[in-house]
């Protein structure tokens, strides 16, 4: 299925907690794309499973950008089913 509105809201909140601002749309999309391992033109392109994996991954990193970067660099972020 496709991403739900509550998931999009949660992702927006989490991205803010990671330190992204509203004017950093491209940076946010690049980060999201790295986590789900595919290029996105909008967060609305996420599947429900990808959104869930993204939320879980950010929360697993305690909403800490440096920890998320290390997780991504180690290839340990889960790819959601499309």
- Sequence-separated (6 or more) residues with CB below 8 Å from residue 1: 47, 48
Q: What is the pLDDT of residues 1-28, one digit of tens each?
A: 899 999 999 999 999 999 999 899 999 9
Task: Give pTM, 2 decimals.
Answer: 0.84
Judge whether residue 82 has pLDDT over 50. no
CA distance 82 to 69: 23
* C-alpha dihedral (40, 44, 49, 50), degrees to nearest 10: 30
Whole-number average pLDDT of the chain: 89
């Amino acid at each position: 299925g496709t991403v739900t509105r509550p998931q999009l809201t949660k992702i927006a909140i989490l991205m803010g907690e990671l330190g992204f601002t509203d004017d950093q749309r491209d940076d946010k999309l690049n980060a999201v794309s790295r986590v789900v391992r595919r290029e996105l033109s909008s967060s609305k392109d996420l599947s429900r499973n990808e959104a869930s994996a993204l939320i879980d991954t950010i929360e697993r990193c305690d909403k800490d950008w440096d920890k998320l970067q290390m997780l991504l660099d180690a290839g340990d972020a889960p790819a959601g089913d499309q």
